[in-house]
Amino acid sequence: MSKAPFDPATQAAVVVFIGLAFLVGRTLPWSAPGEEPAAAARATAVEAKAPPQTPAAPQQAKTSQSPPAAPIAQPAAFTPQPETSIPDDDFGKAIRFGESIFQDTKTNAPGYVGNDLRCANCHLDRGRLPNSAPLWAAYVLYPAYRSKNEHVNTFAERLQGCFRFSMNGKAPPLGDPVLVALESYAYFLARGAPTGVKLAGQGYPALKKPESFDFGRGAEVYAQKCAICHGPEGQGQKSASATVFPPLWGPASYNWGAGMAVISNAAAFIKSNMPLGQGGSLSDQEAWDVAAFLDGHERPQDPRFAQTVEATRAKFHDTPMSAYGTTVNGVLLGASSPPSGPAPSR
């Protein structure tokens, strides 16, 4: 304190200014770089980026404002529009088309889907359910800078990422009717929500990282609580030709680049939403263990594959939250992944 202090009035103004800037900063996804994963990437955790240098879970736990998971979804501060207010015009048609793509993706967006999943598998209640990465909460957080691809992404570009990674497919080109319809649907759900605000119920509520998580313990949880629907080999189950219970690993599931392949995201989704109709019933530890089990299995290759498994890990998976490029249960994950993208014959 060798310099003369500012007069009290200036001091107060500076404090207020800094305080305001801080508040604004915290509510915007693209500001404080260290917070980027907490805001934008987790926003739509299905394809959220692998966290950068630090493990994301503790940080997410600190910044998470979401209510604790409970068997019944907590009422969110924001409620999306009811179906009945979809307008009866051409825009309404696009909204409805978007909803039908969301519900039955392969049928309504053929050519862009390379697995047996539907958007609604990970975004329950047609993208409406709080704490299940609802569309309305994601929509208002874009455009946003994402370190996954190191530039500012529009919402449409974010949707492209879902097709490329979570759907193990092919990104529809910008302006494609599929993207226009999905964006219209998300806009419709978000109508009336404040822009640029992380709403209660957004993403999947992050879970505090445990001391450890374990593939073997996860296998037991899986056998007891998950296999009855998703099958003993994670292959899912069908009724006639329709997939009813989604495959969780193997060739018909999400690929290594998907956000759900990040253990912390899978743990958060599972804790809030699984078993179906009994969300919140697993302990945090069970959710982490079983997430490590799912994401410790082979699945379609990361479409950003960079020559070798080691290089791909170094570039995109260098975090304890990804098992890609590590050896789990005797398998070097990534070394014999099925190819990414839709099979040519489909």
Partner 1 sequence: MRNGLGSPCGRLLMSAPATSQARGGAAHGLCAFARLLPAALIAAAVLTSPVRGQDGGRSIAEGGSGGGAPACSSCHGQQGEGQPDSGFPRLSGLDRGYLTHQLDSFASGGRKNEIMGPIASALTPEERSAVAAFYAGLSAAGAQTKPSSQSVSAGGQLARLGEWSNGVPPCISCHGPTGAGVGGVFPALAGQNATYIANQLNAWRNGERANDPMGLMAAVAKRLTERQIEEVAAFFETLTPTRPGATP
Residues in touch with ligand HEC (CB under 6 A): 276-277
How far, in Å, CA of 39 to CA of 141, rounded? 8
118 belongs to the binding site for partner 1 (CB under 8 A)? no
**Contact of 254 with 175, CB cutoff 8 Å:** no
Q: Residue 89 class from Cβ within 10 Å (0-12 exposed, 13-18 middle, 19+ buried)?
A: exposed
Is 241 among the residues that bind partner 1 (CB under 8 A)?
yes
Smallest distance, Å, CB 338 to partner 1?
24
User: Which of residues 244 and 343 has its CB atom nearest to partner 1 in the complex?
Assistant: 244
Backbone angles phi, psi at 139, to 5 degrees: -55, -40
Minimum CB distance to ligand HEC, residue 227 (Å): 13
Q: How far apart are CA 119 and CA 46, in angstroms?
A: 9
Q: How far apart are CA 167 and CA 179, in angstroms?
A: 14
CB 271 → partner 1: shortest distance, Å? Answer: 15
Q: Which does 241 bind (CB under 5 to 8 A by kind): partner 1, ligand HEC, none?
A: partner 1
Say whether the peptide bond before residue 37 is cis (omega within 30 degrees of 0): no
Nearer to partner 1, 245 or 305 (CB): 245
- Of 8 and 277, nearer to partner 1 (C-beta) is 277
Nearer to partner 1, 1 or 276 (CB): 276
Cis-peptide into 143, omega within 30 deg: yes
> How far, CA to CA in Å, does 321 sit from each of 20, 309, 318?
34, 16, 8
Binding of partner 1 by 82 (CB under 8 A): no
**Are the C-beta atoms of 215 and 328 separated by less than 8 Å?**
yes
From the list partner 1, ligand HEC, none, which binds 77 (C-beta under 5 to 8 Å, kind-based)?
none
**21 interface partner picked from partner 1, ligand HEC, none, CB below 5 to 8 A per type:** none
* Interface positions with partner 1 (CB under 8 A): 71-73, 75, 124-126, 128-129, 225, 228-229, 237-242, 244-245, 275-279
